[in-house]
Amino acid sequence: MDISAALGGSFSLPPSDVLPLSLATSARPIVGTNFTFRTSNIAPGTVLGATMLSFVQINPGIDLGFLGAPGCAQYLTPDVTQVFLATGATSTVPFAIPNFASYAGLRLLAQSAAFTPGFNALGVWTSNGMDLLIGTL
């Protein structure tokens, strides 16, 4: 049965039924290589997204409910932010690790956010946090 046809009007899911925003990488972070950060499950109506990078972790994370984003948390200090246009359910941000041996063993933290008007009172939702260890293999 097609629920949207049976209702005869518009049909949308509340935010609680939407898959959570998800951040992943296309490959392992290795000195001298390129990879992409992939933000997926971006909701329709999202205008912009951002991938944030940091060396400072916030553990266990700051609950953003007090700002109007219940269920969202901030897991890092956004030291570097790359903003992207949300043109679909998935967006990628390229990242290059220079070929310097001194970067081996460096810890890099990442998290994405999506700016979706009406998703919650703040209009922002966040992804999982990532803890990346830059390697040489």
Residue-level pLDDT, tens digit, the chain, 137 residues:
565 566 655 545 555 567 899 999 999 999 999 999 999 999 998 999 999 999 999 999 999 999 999 999 999 998 999 999 998 999 999 999 999 999 999 999 999 999 999 889 999 999 999 999 999 87
User: Distance (Å, rounded) from C-alpha 64 to C-alpha 76?
Assistant: 13
Does the model's pTM come out above 0.85? no
Structure tokens at 66: 């007090």
Q: How high is the pLDDT of residue 19?
A: 86
Q: CA angle, 60 as apex, 103 and 35 as ends, to 5°?
A: 35
Among 54, 50, 135, 56, CA closest to 101: 135
Q: How high is the pLDDT of residue 137?
A: 79
